[in-house]
Amino acid sequence: MSDEHNPRMMGCAGHPLAQTPHLDRLARRGTRFTSAYTTSPICVPARAGFATGKYPHQIGYWDNADPYDGAVPSWHHLLRARGHTAVSVGKLHFRGLPGDDHGFSEELLPMHVVDGIGDVKGLIRRDIPRRKGYDKLAKLAGPGESPYTRYDRDIAARAQAWLHEAARRPHERPWALFVSFVCPHFPLIAPPEFYALYPAADIPLPKQYLPGERPEHPYLRDYDACVAYDAGFGGDHAKVRRAIAAYLGLVSFMDDNVGKVLRALEDARLAGDTRVVYTSDHGDNAGARGLWGKSTMYEESAGVPLVFAGPGISAGATCATPVSHVDLFPFFLECAGVPVPADGRHGVSPLELAARRHADRAVLSEYHAIGSTAGITMLRKDRWKYVHCVHYRPQLFDLEHDPEELVDLAGDPACRATLSALEEELRRFCDPAEVDARAQRRQAELLARYGGREAALARGDLNYTPAPGQAPDIN
């Protein structure tokens, strides 16, 4: 797993500039899912959903101050309980307090939320304050090293060592290794050799970047007013291109680390009977529509890369059926021969989805976090993407005819029946207003527990979770 990888920025996804030879090779020997989604386009709830195979409305980990604590069984809990070794290396973004059991046999180099609490300021959902430090995205973008690039090198090295050690040990049951990198998550500081792959002169401005091109929607206005990353660029297009070059450089750096782990798997002679999955916790807008970071339901943010390879997986294939991180839960268990819980609340193994087209398959993504006054929920079904906003008008996109999401059809009279049918489909999953009320009650309780609004403001803005051994970057 990587962190914040825009699913379109891979060579195998057709990006004209992105250099990802190792992921491309993985896709050639496996199956790539072209309509894959996170359960929530922000780190902490996304990782809780990935661990448990459930959506936020099912498990209640809503935002970056409400981290997974192990209370809901994860796929790693269930593997370990059946005698399988399940080890993590790198970022987890769980609570991580003494006594917490996240389900792994061992956590190597783990990154958890700060103080077991995380980003308390993000709990404020009324009269939302503007975040500080937003201008660092533009100021820091360029070549160099950061604590995150150094951390990722350590993660790759430890994963390689674990695989070589695993090859020398007998295993009565299949093992699982979860290797979780931080890049290409900001700060946008890319190692020079990877930054150099992307001359700024070759980089176009992101789509709909110019002010007159940007879509108008009140949710986007709220988010941009809170997390005003683009204001840090001050309209300087050279800085924008530099930031995109750095982001692409971090993608290539991450790809290189993935390649090192896969080479170790091969060198240890474990590749022949090991299945490999690559994904990211969520995507990144990367400047499209003037947006940076995640937290929206556009494909760049809510979409994730998803590639499977190994025994029993078709090579050189793609699958357009909508899939979600909830679907990985049954896949991991089935790989190890562990029964999937019979509660009817988990996804469907992507191998089953790839074997035959499920035209009526629908998946969700939810957001109840930083910069949102009320919840938003995305439903993807067949060619349609429907975004339900509790306080605001919906959005509707026909991804077959408009894959770049340039035309919002929600106000088109010809689409009224489609809009109504998709809202009805969404309500089969949950009642968005009830979910929003439940999320905001939990957030108000947590905010009061941590001293209230003024205490949260005084705690400051956590720009990103520090790598192990590093001090938090707080403004």
CB 5 within 8 A of CB 184: yes
pLDDT at 355: 86
Which residue, 433, 473, 464, 471, is CA-closest to 64? 464
Crossing angle for the helix pair 237-267 and 21-28, to the nearest 10 degrees: 50
Euclidean distance between CA atoms 377 and 297, whole angstroms: 8
All structural domains of the chain with their residue ranges: 11-359
Q: Cα torsion for 76, 80, 81, 82, to the nearest 10°?
A: 110
**DSSP-assigned beta bridge partners for residue 88:** 107, 178
Residue that the structure tokens 């919840």 belong to:
375
Euclidean distance between CA atoms 25 and 372, whole angstroms: 39
- Quick one: tokens of 400? 């077959």
C-beta pairs of 92-96 under 8 Å, 24+ apart in sequence = 92/47, 92/180, 93/43, 93/44, 93/47, 93/67, 93/68, 93/281, 93/465, 94/47, 94/48, 94/51, 94/67, 94/68, 94/69, 94/70, 95/67, 95/68, 95/69, 95/70, 96/67
CB 15 within 8 A of CB 305: no
Q: Cα torsion for 395, 400, 405, 410, to the nearest 10°?
A: -20
**How buried is 172 (Cβ within 10 angstroms: 0-12 exposed, 13-18 middle, 19+ buried)?**
exposed
Q: Cα torsion for 109, 111, 114, 116, to the nearest 10°?
A: -90
Q: What is the pLDDT along the chain (475 residues), one digit of tens a residue?
A: 999 999 999 999 999 999 999 999 999 999 999 999 999 999 999 999 999 999 999 999 999 999 999 999 999 999 999 999 999 999 999 999 999 999 999 999 999 999 999 999 999 999 999 998 889 999 999 999 999 999 999 999 999 999 999 999 888 899 999 999 999 999 999 999 999 999 999 999 999 999 999 999 999 999 999 999 999 999 999 999 999 999 999 999 999 999 999 999 999 999 999 999 999 999 999 999 999 999 999 999 999 999 999 999 999 999 999 999 999 999 999 999 999 998 767 799 998 998 877 778 999 999 999 999 999 999 999 999 999 999 999 999 999 999 999 999 999 999 999 999 999 999 999 999 999 999 999 999 999 999 999 999 998 888 889 999 887 777 7
Which residue, 30, 27, 52, is CA-closest to 39? 52
User: How far is CA 347 from its chain centroid?
Assistant: 17
**DSSP-assigned beta bridge partners for residue 378:** 365, 387
- Domain 11-359 fold is Alkaline Phosphatase, subunit A (3.40.720)
pLDDT at 344: 67
Give 336's contacts (C-beta < 8 A, 6+ positions apart).
Answer: 79, 82, 84, 173, 174, 176
CB 280 within 8 A of CB 7: yes
